Amino acid sequence: MKTVKQVRIGSSEASYVIPYLMELGIVDRSAKISKDGGHRLVPILPGREDEMTGMGYELAEGPAYTMERRRPQERITEELADLPPEIVSCLPTKWEYVGDVVILKMDEKCLPYKRRIGEAYAGILGAKSVCADAYGITGELRKPSTEVIYGSDTESVRLENGIFYEFDVSRIMFASGNIDERMRMKELDCKGETVVDMFAGIGYFTLPIAKFTGARKVFACEKNPHSYRYLLKNLERNGVSERVIPILGDNRSMLGKRFADRVIMGYVQTTSAFLPKALDIVKRGGTIHYHDTFYINEYKEKVEEIFAKAAIVDYEIERIREVKSFAPSVSHYVADVRIL
């Protein structure tokens, strides 16, 4: 019988480590994941052994039990073939894993059949719960319009770039498209700095800054009580509680002036309303990372216009980069602005 290299993953961490390894392209998806006592034996592709041992995992060798080779979408379509043709034609073709929870971007037309659809996707994708996102993120608190259509447990842990993010996918957004910006925050040199994250959420930027950049102290502000609860959990889970001061409430109520070396404004669409506060707390020589959405042909002019209107001190726009596409002809940008 053909054999394959396997990595031993403890069952307690399997729900978030295995999806992470899949994202990295390490898992051999043609072979089955098996169990061995309190471990999962995950088949990996040839040549990826050093990566796994470098992460501290033990390797084994075992039989390569073959998985169903057809693509999941083909099997899902076959499973739901008895639904009306107009529903089958608009079934989700993309999904996102958050640990062992799957989120589907679902067309409204499919919602009357959501229970049946959720069960099919859960069975074929191996998910404990399936959530449907039909309307996106809404409101000042950035609440997802996510509905549970299969299962009941929507708490999960996402492992990304060495950071554990725990959250409830039915209550809290996770912008997977911002991964490059979270990686960039991880790679900043903030040695000895005081950083303010004005829109901390569950710790999207706070955690990589606190854990990897050498920052002395991070003030993490969050207004949504559900997000704040998971922010506290994630600070503890990632071992950075001593370096982070969490604040529940509106960041515009923060006390103090000119104390921050760096200010993160990870919000979009109404970010400019909070810029006066950022300018109030940042030191001369400090940096503001200003996020917002603009039409792709006018983002430079808009950033300059917003800062020219709000700033009462000199500043320099050092860099503007696109984070991700937001809507047709509109993108999410981040501007690194030095206060002089």
- pLDDT of amino acid 115: 94
The 3-state DSSP class for residue 72 equals helix
Claim to verify: residue 228 and residue 302 sit in the same structural domain: yes
Among the ranges given (41-50, 74-83, 141-150, 293-302), the one the predictor scored with the smallest mean pLDDT? 141-150
Give the residue among 302, 288, 287 at the shortest CA–CA distance from 332.
Answer: 302
CATH number at residue 84: 3.30.300.110
Claim to verify: residue 238 and residue 281 sit in the same structural domain: yes
Claim to verify: residue 30 and residue 106 sit in the same structural domain: no
Determine, yes or no, domain membership for 56.
yes
Determine, yes or no, domain membership for 94.
yes
Claim to verify: residue 90 and residue 237 sit in the same structural domain: no
Domain membership of residue 35 as a residue range: 3-63
Query: Look-up: residue for tokens 């709000």?
Result: 310
- pTM for the structure as a whole: 0.79
Quote the CA–CA distance of 217 and 210 in Å, as a whole number.
Answer: 8
Claim to verify: residue 82 and residue 218 sit in the same structural domain: no
Claim to verify: residue 147 and residue 38 sit in the same structural domain: no
CATH number at residue 43: 3.30.70.2580
Residue 126 binned pLDDT confidence (cut-offs 50, 70, 90) = confident
Quote the CA–CA distance of 98 and 340 in Å, as a whole number.
Answer: 41
Domain boundary among 121, 153, 185: 153
Q: How many domains does the chain have?
A: 3
Residue 315: pLDDT over 80: yes
Claim to verify: residue 186 and residue 330 sit in the same structural domain: yes
| Percent of the chain's residues with pLDDT above 70 | 94
Determine, yes or no, domain membership for 163.
no
Residue 258 binned pLDDT confidence (cut-offs 50, 70, 90) = very high
CATH number at residue 186: 3.40.50.150
Among the ranges given (36-50, 73-87, 243-257, 267-281), the one the predictor scored with the smallest mean pLDDT? 36-50
Claim to verify: residue 189 and residue 43 sit in the same structural domain: no
Among the ranges given (49-53, 209-213, 256-260, 327-331), the one the predictor scored with the smallest mean pLDDT? 49-53
Q: What digits encode the pLDDT tens for the residues 1-27?
A: 567 889 988 877 887 788 788 878 888
Claim to verify: residue 40 and residue 86 sit in the same structural domain: no
Determine, yes or no, domain membership for 289.
yes
Please tell me what DSSP assigns to residue 68. P
Claim to verify: residue 140 and residue 212 sit in the same structural domain: no
Q: What digits encode the pLDDT tens for the residues 127-144?
A: 889 999 865 555 555 555
Claim to verify: residue 186 and residue 332 sit in the same structural domain: yes
More confident call, 25 vs 330: 330
Give the residue among 79, 63, 82 at the shortest CA–CA distance from 71.
Answer: 79
